Amino acid sequence: MKLGMNLIGGATVAEVVADAQRAEREGFASFSMANIFGLDAINALTVAGYETNTIGLVTAVVPTFPRHPAAIAQQALTAASASGGRFTLGIGLSHKVVIEGMYGMSFDRPARHMREYLKVLLPLLNKEPVQVTGEQFTFRGGLRVPGDPVPCAIAAMGPAMLRLAGEQCSGTILWMTTAKAISEHIVPHLREGARRSGRSDEPQVIVSLPIALTNDIDGSREAAAREYQNYGNLPSYRSMLDASGLSGAADAAIIGNEAELERSLRALAEAGTTLFHASCFPADDGATERTREFLASLAKRWN
């Protein structure tokens, strides 16, 4: 398992670039950024890719419903071109409360939506033309963006989506998913999909969790509960917390001293995680920097 870093802060493009450059200097294998309600993640990582040299760049994740697959393919190919082939497109369904409540779009049959989405997206990412006339998406033609094909991972937690990720994508991107859920639920369905497609390589399992190096365990759990309380109310994350026997999102956070953090990270690796993106959070004064420095020391040994 390789170690990467999630964006910390990043209200401006300049801050995203600076954080990616720092992660590269620290020896992290990859740098990821969520696409929520701030900067557009693909655009920001396109700039970061142009301003870095070796670090991988991952969107974790971009919602599919508001964007046509051909449009997102063009963006992703541009990001890969700017970075010299270091960009991975991470996409996901988002959540019903967002897609229906904010965008006013139907969230009906999400797995079918993703399967049709990939029929357009994946050939374009592989530099191939498509001729697709679907129920939701149609595209006829190709894209002429210089550079290499772009790998695509999807946020998948349910069995159907995990099998789809194993069949067609480079792998899956997970949040609020523990080693127990990865080994008992995620990896078996992902590998089942891979077997169906006849692929010989192992699908990627990209995982991100809140993490803090601290001796104040109780106080840090309380801080995590405040920071991440909403995730426990979203059905997809709730199902992963339930699969792990956890009551709330704060219980999924990796919190403790150096030995405890390393032990938890090794458990993720043994469960099948191939890339861990650390989401350092302010569990106490100085925790974010302290945690990052410790993980950078691990990255020098692990990556």
> CATH code at 43?
3.20.20.30
Q: What integer pLDDT is reported at residue 152 of this predicted model?
A: 99
Report pLDDT digits (tens) over 253-281. 999 999 999 999 999 999 999 999 999 99
Q: Give the model's pLDDT for residue 36.
A: 93
Domain boundary among 130, 152, 174: 152
Split at pLDDT 50, 70, 90, the class of 10 is: confident
Q: Please indicate, yes or no, whether residues 142 and 10 belong to a single structural domain of this protein.
A: yes
Same domain, 169 and 263: yes
Asked whether residue 57 falls in the same domain as residue 171, the answer is: no
Among candidate residues 152, 184, 206, the one where a domain is terminated: 152
User: What is the reported pLDDT for 8?
Assistant: 87
Domain co-membership, 58 together with 134: yes
Residues 160, 145 share a domain: no
The answer, yes or no, to whether residue 122 has pLDDT greater than 90, is: yes
State whether 187 and 56 are in the same domain.
Answer: no
Does 199 lie in the same domain as 175?
yes
Across residues 166-174, what is the average pLDDT?
98
Q: Tell me, yes or no, whether 49 and 182 share the same domain.
A: no
Question: 51 and 125 in one domain?
Answer: yes
Are 107 and 138 within one domain? Answer: yes
Residues 183 and 136 in one domain: no
Note whether 225 and 134 are same-domain residues. Answer: no
pLDDT at 9: 82
- Show which of 152, 179, 202 is a domain's final residue: 152
What is the C-alpha radius of gyration for the chain, rounded to an integer number of angstroms?
A: 18
Q: Give the closest residue to 206 by CA, choosing from 58, 101, 11.
A: 58
Reported as a single tens digit per residue, the pLDDT across 77-103 is 999 999 999 999 999 999 999 999 999
pLDDT at 197: 96
If you average pLDDT over residues 228-250, what whole number do you get? 93
Is the pLDDT at 156 greater than 90? The verdict is: yes
Question: Which domain covers residue 266, as residue numbers?
Answer: 155-303
pLDDT tens for 24-45 read 999 999 999 999 999 999 999 9
